[in-house]
Amino acid sequence: MPRLLQSLRIQILSAITILTALFAASTLYSLHVIDQQHSDDVLVQLAGRLQFNQQHFTVQAMRYKENAPRDYQTYFRDVRLYFEDLKKTRHELSAIIEAFAENSFDSDLIGETMAMPPRLPKQSLALAGELHDAWNAFGERLDERIGADLEEPRLEWAAQWIVDQHGMLEQISERLFRRLASDVSARAKRVHLINRILLITALLVSAGIAVWFYRRVLAPLAVTVDGFKRVANGDFDFKVPVSHDNEIGWLASSFNHLAGRMDALRTLLTRLEQGDDLEGTLHTLSETLPALIPVDWIGLLIVGPDGRIHLERAFSDGEPDPIGKLSFEPDLTLLEECIQHREPLHIPDVREMSQLSDSYVFLRRLAELGRRDAIFMPIYHEGGMHGVAVFASRYPNNYRTEHLALLRNLGNLIGYSLGRTIQLAETARLASIGQFASGIVHEIRNPLATISLALDHLKGLEQLPKGARKRTDLAAEEVVRLERLLSDILLYAKPLALDRIAQDISVLISETLAAKGKGEVPVHYTPSPCAPVAIDADRIRQVLINLLQNAQQASPPGEPVQIHCRSTESGWVEVEIVNQGEPIPSKSLERVFEPFVTSKSRGTGLGLPIVQRIVNAHGGEVSLHSESAGRTRALLRLPVFGKAQISDYATDDAGSG
* Model confidence pTM above 0.85: no
Helix (H) or strand (E) holding 301: strand 297-303
Mapped onto helix, strand or coil, the DSSP state of residue 517 is coil
Say if residue 546 is in the same domain as residue 632.
yes
Tell me the pLDDT tens digit for each residue of 103-125. 888 887 887 877 778 888 888 88
Q: Specify whether the CB–CB gap between 289 and 306 falls below 8 A.
A: no
Cα separations (Å) of 549 from 59, 250, 555? 149, 72, 10
Q: Specify whether the CB–CB gap between 387 and 302 falls below 8 A.
A: yes
Q: Specify whether the CB–CB gap between 610 and 503 falls below 8 A.
A: no
Per-residue confidence band for 491, with pLDDT thresholds at 50, 70 and 90: low
Q: Specify whether the CB–CB gap between 595 and 609 falls below 8 A.
A: yes
Beta bridge pairs of residue 311: 301
Cα 476 to Cα 196: distance, rounded to the nearest angstrom: 123
Cα 48 to Cα 42: distance, rounded to the nearest angstrom: 10
Say if residue 446 is in the same domain as residue 407.
no
In single-letter form, the type of residue at position 142 comes to L
Say if residue 459 is in the same domain as residue 326.
no
Cα 232 to Cα 446: distance, rounded to the nearest angstrom: 68
Per-residue confidence band for 283, with pLDDT thresholds at 50, 70 and 90: confident
Single residue among 422, 444, 475 that ends a domain in this structure: 422
Cα 17 to Cα 208: distance, rounded to the nearest angstrom: 14
**Which whole number is the average pLDDT over 525-546?**
88
Q: Specify whether the CB–CB gap between 508 and 540 falls below 8 A.
A: yes
Q: Specify whether the CB–CB gap between 124 and 179 falls below 8 A.
A: yes
Percent of the chain as helix, strand, coil, to the nearest 5: 60, 15, 25
User: In Å, how far from its chain's centre is CA 278?
Assistant: 32
Which CATH number is 182's domain given?
1.20.1330
| Number of domains present in the structure of the chain | 4
Question: Per the domain annotation, does 100 fall within a domain?
Answer: yes
Helix runs in 214-314, H state only: 219-232, 247-274, 278-288
Question: Per the domain annotation, does 526 fall within a domain?
Answer: yes
Say if residue 524 is in the same domain as residue 478.
no
Cα separations (Å) of 545 from 303, 430, 510, 561? 31, 26, 12, 13
Q: Is 206 exposed, middle or buried (0-12, 13-18, 19+ CB in 10 A)?
A: middle
Say if residue 156 is in the same domain as residue 295.
no
Cα 137 to Cα 141: distance, rounded to the nearest angstrom: 6
Closest by Cα among 298, 234, 226 to 262: 234
Summary mean pLDDT of the chain: 78
- Cα of first residue to Cα of last residue in the chain, in angstroms, is 68
Cα 6 to Cα 242: distance, rounded to the nearest angstrom: 14
Tell me the pLDDT tens digit for each residue of 6-30. 566 777 788 888 888 888 888 888 8
Single residue among 147, 180, 211 that ends a domain in this structure: 211
> Dihedral sign, CA of 267, 272, 275, 279?
positive
Per-residue confidence band for 518, with pLDDT thresholds at 50, 70 and 90: low
In single-letter form, the type of residue at position 310 comes to H
**Neighbour tally for 657: CB within 10 Å:** 21
Say if residue 386 is in the same domain as residue 437.
no
| Region of residue 397 (left: phi > 0; alpha: psi -120 to 50; beta: else) | left
pLDDT of residue 330: 75
Helix runs in 302-400, H state only: 334-341, 350-354, 361-368
Phi then psi for residue 5, to 5 deg, are -75, -20
Question: Per the domain annotation, does 253 fall within a domain?
Answer: no
Say if residue 459 is in the same domain as residue 509.
no
**Neighbour tally for 418: CB within 10 Å:** 27
Question: Per the domain annotation, does 359 fall within a domain?
Answer: yes
Beta carbons within 8 Å of 252's beta carbon, 6+ residues apart: 220, 224, 227, 240, 241, 242
Say if residue 445 is in the same domain as residue 315.
no
Choice among 178-192, 339-353, 379-393, 556-570 with the minimum mean pLDDT? 379-393
Say if residue 439 is in the same domain as residue 511.
no
Q: Specify whether the CB–CB gap between 561 and 578 falls below 8 A.
A: yes
Question: Per the domain annotation, does 606 fall within a domain?
Answer: yes
Say if residue 485 is in the same domain as residue 519.
no
**Neighbour tally for 51: CB within 10 Å:** 16
Question: Per the domain annotation, does 242 fall within a domain?
Answer: no
Single residue among 144, 179, 211 that ends a domain in this structure: 211
Per-residue confidence band for 429, with pLDDT thresholds at 50, 70 and 90: low
Say if residue 363 is in the same domain as residue 464.
no
Range of the domain at 465: 431-493
Question: Per the domain annotation, does 333 fall within a domain?
Answer: yes
Say if residue 482 is in the same domain as residue 520.
no
Cα 332 to Cα 358: distance, rounded to the nearest angstrom: 9
Which CATH number is 386's domain given?
3.30.450.40
Per-residue confidence band for 55, with pLDDT thresholds at 50, 70 and 90: confident
Which CATH number is 527's domain given?
3.30.565.10
Question: Per the domain annotation, does 249 fall within a domain?
Answer: no
Please determine, for residue 409, whether its predicted confidence score (pLDDT) is greater than 90.
Answer: no
Please determine, for residue 425, whether its predicted confidence score (pLDDT) is greater than 60.
Answer: no
